[in-house]
Amino acid sequence: MDTICEMYRPEDLLRLEKKIKRERAWVWGLAGVTLALCVLFCCLTDLRSVEWTEPAALICSCVGGWLVIYRRLFGLRETRFELDHAARQAETPRSSLTGTLKVTGERMRIKNSIRFRVLLLDDGERVRRLKVNETRVKKLLPFDGKRVTVLLADGYVAGIGGKDAGT
Partner 1 sequence: MQVLKNIWSQLHRFVFWAIISTIFWAWIFTLITDAPQAKKVTVYVLTDSCENRALEEALEPARPEGIRMVRVHPFSYVLFDTEDALNADLYVIPGSQADDFLDSFTPIDGETLDTGDRELFVRNGQTYGVKIRDGAAGEGAASAYLGYSPGEDYYLFFNVSSPHLGSGDGAALRIAEALLRLN
Q: Which is nearer to partner 1, 54 or 106 (CB)?
A: 54
State which of residues 5, 7, 16, 57 lies at the interface with partner 1 (CB under 8 A): 57
Residues in Cβ contact with 114 at an 8 Å cutoff, skipping those fewer than 6 apart: 78, 81, 82, 85, 133, 134, 135
Single residue of 35, 50, 103, 120 touching partner 1 by CB under 8 A: 50
- The yes or no reply on residue 42 touching partner 1 (CB under 8 A) is yes
Helices 77-91 and 10-43 meet at what angle, rounded to 10? 160
Using rule CB under 8 A, residue 37 touches partner 1: no
DSSP string for residues in 126-139? -EEEEEEEGGGHHH
CB 146 within 8 A of CB 128: no
Interface with partner 1 (CB under 8 A), residue from 70, 106, 110, 122: 70
Decide if residue 120 touches partner 1 (CB under 8 A): no
Minimum distance between the CB of residue 79 and partner 1, rounded to whole angstroms? 14
- When binding is defined by CB under 8 A, the residue of 25, 36, 69, 110 that contacts partner 1 is 69
Point out which residues bind partner 1 (CB under 8 A).
38, 42, 45-48, 50-51, 53-54, 57-58, 61-62, 65-66, 69-70, 73-74
